[in-house]
Chains A and B, each alone.
Chain A
Amino acid sequence: MKCSQSLKYTDAQQSQQAAVSIMDIKASERKEPLIRIVKRNELSRTQVLALRLSSAVMAVAAGGLFILMLGFNPFMIYASIVSGAFRSSVALQATIKIMIPLLISSLGVSLAFKMKFWNIGAEGQIIAGAIFASYFALYHGLWPRQALIPAMLAAGIVGGGIWGLIPAIFKNKFNTNETLFTLMLNYIALNLIVFLRDGPWADPESGGFPKIARFVPNVQLPKLFGVQIGWIFALALAVFLHVYMKRSKHGYEISVVGESASTAEYAGMNVRWIVLRTMFLSGGICGAAGMIQAAGSDYTLAQSVAGGVGFTAIIVAWLADLSPLGIFIVSFLFSVLSKGCSVMQSTYGISTYSSNVLQGVILFFVLGCEFFIRHRFALRAPEGEAH
Chain B
Amino acid sequence: MDAEYAIECRGITKTFGTVKANDGIDLNARFGEILALLGENGSGKTTLMNILSGIYHPDSGSVHVSGKALHINSPSDAIGLGIGMIHQHFKLVEIMSAMDNIILGAKDKLQKPSSLKRKILDLCDLYGLKIDPEKKIYQMSVSERQTVEILKVLYRNARILILDEPTAVLTPQETTGLFLILRKMKEKGCCVIIITHKLNEVLEISDRVTILRKGKSVATVLTAETNEARLAESMVGRAVNLSIKRPLVERGKPALEVKNLTSLEPDGRKSLSNLNFTLYSGEMLGVAGIAGSGQKALCETLTGLSKAHAGEIAYEGVNCMGKSAAEISKLGVRLAFVPEDRLGMGLVGSMGIADNMLLKTYKSGKGAFINRKPAIRQAERIIESLDIQTPGVDAPIRMLSGGNIQKVLLGREIESRPKVLIVAYPVRGLDINTSYAIYDLLNEQKRNKTAIIFCGEDIDVLLEISDRIMVLSDGRITGIESAASLTKEDVGLMMAGMDFRDKVQA
Q: A16-B31, A26-B77, A26-B80 are in contact. Are A268 and B329 (CB under 8 A)?
A: yes
**A22 contacts B70, C-beta separation under 8 Å:** no
Query: Closest B-chain residue to A265, C-beta based?
Result: B305
B345 on interface, CB distance cutoff 8 Å: yes
**B362 contacts A249, C-beta separation under 8 Å:** yes
B-facing residues in A259-287 (Cβ within 8 Å): 259-260, 262-263, 265-270
**A266 contacts B337, C-beta separation under 8 Å:** yes
Instruction: Give how many A-B residue pairs fall within 8 Å (CB-CB).
Output: 148
Task: For the complex formed, measure the closest distance between the CB of A346 and the CB atoms of chain B, giving whole angstroms.
Answer: 46
**A8 contacts B369, C-beta separation under 8 Å:** no
Residues on B with C-beta less than 8 A from A40 are 17
A-facing residues in B53-105 (Cβ within 8 Å): 57-62, 65-66, 68-71, 73, 77, 80-82
Q: A28-B69, A387-B62 are in contact. Are A260 and B345 (CB under 8 A)?
A: yes
**B188 contacts A15, C-beta separation under 8 Å:** yes
**A252 contacts B81, C-beta separation under 8 Å:** no
Q: A26-B80, A41-B17 are in contact. Are A252 and B337 (CB under 8 A)?
A: no
- Determine which of B57, B61, B68 lies in contact with A28 in the assembled complex, contact meaning CB atoms within 8 Å: B68
Task: For the complex formed, measure the closest distance between the CB of A11 and the CB atoms of chain B, giving whole angstroms.
Answer: 5
B339 on interface, CB distance cutoff 8 Å: yes
**A19 contacts B70, C-beta separation under 8 Å:** no
A-facing residues in B120-166 (Cβ within 8 Å): 157, 159-160
Q: A15-B159, A263-B345 are in contact. Are A252 and B362 (CB under 8 A)?
A: yes
B272 on interface, CB distance cutoff 8 Å: no
Residue in B19, B32, B350 whose Cβ sees the most chain A Cβ within 10 Å = B32
**B66 contacts A16, C-beta separation under 8 Å:** yes
Residues on A with C-beta less than 8 A from B287 are none
B349 on interface, CB distance cutoff 8 Å: yes
Residues on A with C-beta less than 8 A from B68 are 23, 28
A206 on interface, CB distance cutoff 8 Å: no
B49 on interface, CB distance cutoff 8 Å: no
B460 on interface, CB distance cutoff 8 Å: no
Comparing B1-9, B250-258, B380-388, B479-487, the segment that makes contact with chain A is: B1-9
Number of interface residues of A (CB under 8 A): 47
B244 on interface, CB distance cutoff 8 Å: no
A12 on interface, CB distance cutoff 8 Å: yes
Task: For the complex formed, measure the closest distance between the CB of B308 and the CB atoms of chain A, giving whole angstroms.
Answer: 16
**A259 contacts B370, C-beta separation under 8 Å:** no
Query: Closest A-chain residue to B365, C-beta based?
Result: A249
Rounded to whole angstroms, the CA-CA distance of A249 and B364 in the bound complex is 10
Residues on B with C-beta less than 8 A from A33 are 73
A45 on interface, CB distance cutoff 8 Å: no
Task: For the complex formed, measure the closest distance between the CB of B13 and the CB atoms of chain A, giving whole angstroms.
Answer: 9
Q: A9-B3, A19-B159, A250-B368 are in contact. Are A263 and B71 (CB under 8 A)?
A: no
**B17 contacts A32, C-beta separation under 8 Å:** no
**B3 contacts A13, C-beta separation under 8 Å:** yes
Q: A26-B81, A249-B362, A255-B348 are in contact. Are A265 and B66 (CB under 8 A)?
A: no
Query: Closest B-chain residue to A251, C-beta based?
Result: B370
**A25 contacts B80, C-beta separation under 8 Å:** yes
- Determine which of B16, B65, B73, B190 lies in contact with A15 in the assembled complex, contact meaning CB atoms within 8 Å: B190
Number of interface residues of B (CB under 8 A): 65
Task: For the complex formed, measure the closest distance between the CB of A323 and the CB atoms of chain B, giving whole angstroms.
Answer: 14
**B3 contacts A260, C-beta separation under 8 Å:** no
Residues on A with C-beta less than 8 A from B305 are 265-266
Residues on B with C-beta less than 8 A from A247 are 369-370
Task: For the complex formed, measure the closest distance between the CB of A359 and the CB atoms of chain B, giving whole angstroms.
Answer: 32
Rounded to whole angstroms, the CA-CA distance of A181 and B165 in the bound complex is 43
A31 on interface, CB distance cutoff 8 Å: yes
B286 on interface, CB distance cutoff 8 Å: no
Residues on A with C-beta less than 8 A from B66 are 16, 19-20, 23
B229 on interface, CB distance cutoff 8 Å: no
Rounded to whole angstroms, the CA-CA distance of A23 and B359 in the bound complex is 56
Query: Closest A-chain residue to B303, C-beta based?
Result: A266
Q: A8-B32, A12-B30, A266-B325 are in contact. Are A259 and B350 (CB under 8 A)?
A: yes
B-facing residues in A1-56 (Cβ within 8 Å): 1, 5, 8-9, 11-16, 18-20, 22-23, 25-26, 28, 30-33, 36, 39-42
- Determine which of A31, A259, A265 lies in contact with B349 in the assembled complex, contact meaning CB atoms within 8 Å: A259
Q: A23-B66, A248-B369, A259-B350 are in contact. Are A266 and B345 (CB under 8 A)?
A: yes
B-facing residues in A361-387 (Cβ within 8 Å): 381, 386-387
Residues on B with C-beta less than 8 A from A26 are 70, 77, 80-81
Q: A32-B73, A255-B351 are in contact. Are A267 and B344 (CB under 8 A)?
A: no
Rounded to whole angstroms, the CA-CA distance of A252 and B369 in the bound complex is 9
A256 on interface, CB distance cutoff 8 Å: yes
- Determine which of A11, A41, A265 lies in contact with B16 in the assembled complex, contact meaning CB atoms within 8 Å: A41
Residues on A with C-beta less than 8 A from B224 are 1
**B82 contacts A22, C-beta separation under 8 Å:** yes
Residue in B60, B159, B339, B346 whose Cβ sees the most chain A Cβ within 10 Å = B159
**A381 contacts B17, C-beta separation under 8 Å:** no
Contact pattern, B 271-297, Cβ under 8 Å of A = 1, otherwise 0: 000000000000000000000000000
Task: For the complex formed, measure the closest distance between the CB of B323 and the CB atoms of chain A, giving whole angstroms.
Answer: 11
**B346 contacts A263, C-beta separation under 8 Å:** yes
Query: Closest A-chain residue to B6, C-beta based?
Result: A16
Residue in A9, A39, A255 whose Cβ sees the most chain B Cβ within 10 Å = A9
- Determine which of B32, B62, B157, B358 lies in contact with A11 in the assembled complex, contact meaning CB atoms within 8 Å: B32
Rounded to whole angstroms, the CA-CA distance of A260 and B1 in the bound complex is 54
Task: For the complex formed, measure the closest distance between the CB of B86 and the CB atoms of chain A, giving whole angstroms.
Answer: 18
**B17 contacts A386, C-beta separation under 8 Å:** no
Residue in A1, A8, A42, A248 whose Cβ sees the most chain B Cβ within 10 Å = A8
> What 10 pairs across the A-B complex have the smallest Cβ distances?
A41-B17, A15-B189, A12-B32, A268-B326, A19-B159, A12-B31, A386-B60, A12-B189, A267-B359, A262-B345
User: Can you list 26 residue pairs at the A/B interface with Cβ under 8 Å?
Assistant: A9-B3, A11-B32, A15-B31, A15-B159, A16-B4, A16-B31, A18-B159, A19-B31, A19-B66, A22-B80, A22-B82, A23-B65, A23-B80, A23-B82, A26-B80, A28-B69, A30-B70, A32-B57, A249-B368, A255-B348, A255-B350, A259-B348, A263-B344, A263-B345, A266-B359, A267-B360
